[in-house]
Amino acid sequence: MLTLTIDITIFSDEVISKAVYWETNQYIVSRQLNGKTETLTFEPKPQCTENEAALKERFLTRLNDFKVQQIVDNETKDLRTILYIKAFANNDDFEAITE
């Protein structure tokens, strides 16, 4: 059984939830909020043969990957919205809005 404490001021619930989801095929994961940290406990399912070090490395890597994805999503949200509007709008209407 592996227990990790995650700082929730660094990693959002969304990021932690995504990383936890990817482990649920081999682990039962319990989560407990403790102020500004969240304690995650990973209990291996019977079919799991992996060691704790491999789980910890993969999980922390996923946390960072999902954090970067969240940053990119936040930084490009307005651009994506403009692209969606342009893709589905009548070009003449869009040109009038942006001029």
pLDDT digits (tens, 9 = 90+) for 45-56: 988 888 889 999
Taking each helix axis from N to C end, the angle separating 91-98 and 52-88, rounded to the nearest 10 degrees, works out to 100
> Which CATH number belongs to the domain containing residue 45 in this structure?
3.30.70
Contacts of 64 by beta carbon, 8 Å cutoff, 6+ apart: none
Give the model confidence (pLDDT) of 73-96 as tens digits.
888 877 777 777 777 776 655 555
pTM: 0.73
**83: domain range?**
2-98
Number of domains in the chain: 1
- Tell me the HSE value of 36 on the side-chain side, using a 13 A CA sphere: 3
66-95: burial string, b at 16+ Cβ within 10 Å, e else: bbeeeeeeeeeeeeeeeeeeeeeeeeeeee
